[in-house]
Amino acid sequence: MRARMVTVAGIAVCLLACTDAPVVPVPKSAAPAVPSFSSVQAACPATPNVVVTTEGELLDALATAEPGAVIGIDGLIVVTADVYVTTPNVTLTCVTPGSGLAAEPGGAVLTVLTAMANAVTVDRLFLDATNATDPFIADGVSDVRFTTNTVVCGPFLIGGGCALFNATPNAVISGNEFRSTGSFSGLHLQGGIDGTRIEYNTIVTTTAGADVPIFGGLRVRDGANVVIAGNTVQGPWANSAALVDLSASTIEQNDFEGAVMYGILAPAGTSFRPVAMTDNVIRTNRIVGAGSAGIALDSACRNQLFGNRLEGNAGDVGLVFDEQTGANAFAGNRNLVVDNGGALDCDGDGSGDPNVLTGVGLARRGEPGARPTDESRAWGRLH
């Protein structure tokens, strides 16, 4: 595992040095500081099976943990190496508010905490990747719960992100706060995430131009029956939500504000399906301040869009149906819509299917702006 992660980080650094991506300065390493917490985050469970206060105690507790164990972290533990959870159904949580894990400044930590077993729960912790690539990774495991944590995202220049879930069906990612001063990607899910729920998270960046153009605050791909609900994504991410290869999923009641390009871009990057976005519901989202358009859809069939607040985006463009869209339904202010679609045959009868728009106003035709170039093959572990 260590060798694989070192290779990945090396790829990210090399690629960044060889592309035209803007250089974002990384602050000098500093000793991690305990954050302020909301009242919800401050409520630590009262009955862990074991309490740890040092890196050595934590590693011993993880090595001897049985399924069902609850390990309480008391205080902020600065780790000198990656921490792995390898026993299923283990919970890591806080004993006192602000407890958690942070990478040692100037050290060799790549990922602060990695879940390598099913049904791992990480709850109410502070995870600081200021001096690492990633605060948290779950890889090839199911039923992971990542809830009510406060997270400092990894820095852009070494390919850092806010959290990576790769091939993690039925995950629950809820109630977390992710803070970035410039990261390669935000909350990133890929590789098979059926049944995953991403709810009520806050994901904020303060730096434009750090994340990859096909990524964003929420990067979600490769799943069915996924729920993305009640999240707040703020700041100049390339896109607030960058989606691809989702089906029968729900994107609702999210608040997306300030994206450099799109509030929702779908598909964002390479699709591995004949049609990238099918039978999804996009409803009652608020999308404002996007630099290109509120929502941009292509390679999309039979999606339903209604009840979304799409005013206040660049050029007064709330929604773009590109050419390869068909049989999508929109209800709302048609004055905010650019409909270039209808070329995609969604029912297999050999003819393109028009999108169906209802509501006041009249949709336009035309090209409001180019989509970002798909350079996903250049991003190593992420796609």
pLDDT tens digits along 136-166? 999 999 999 999 999 999 999 888 999 999 9
Residue 264, domain extent: 2-379
Per residue in 86-138, pLDDT (tens digit) is: 999 999 999 999 999 999 998 899 999 999 999 999 999 999 999 999 999 99
pLDDT category at 376 given cuts 50, 70, 90 is very low
Are residues 230 and 200 in contact, defined by beta-carbon separation less than 8 angstroms?
yes
| Least reliable range by pLDDT among 206-215, 253-262, 290-299, 366-375 | 366-375
Q: What CATH number does residue 329 fall under?
A: 2.160.20
**Average pLDDT of the chain, as a whole number:** 89
Predicted TM-score of the model (pTM): 0.89
pLDDT category at 45 given cuts 50, 70, 90 is confident
Residue 319, sorted as left (phi over 0), alpha (psi -120 to 50) or beta, turns out to be beta
User: How many domains is the chain partitioned into structurally?
Assistant: 1
The pLDDT of residue 343 is 94
pLDDT at residue 190 tops 80 = yes
The pLDDT of residue 256 is 98
The pLDDT of residue 369 is 63
The angle formed by the CA atoms of residues 209, 185 and 315, to the nearest 5 degrees, is: 50
Q: Which residue has the higher pLDDT, 31 or 215?
A: 215
pLDDT at residue 302 tops 90 = yes
Strands 293-297 and 187-190: unpaired
Q: How far apart are CA 67 and CA 117, in angstroms?
A: 10
Are residues 244 and 218 in contact, defined by beta-carbon separation less than 8 angstroms?
no
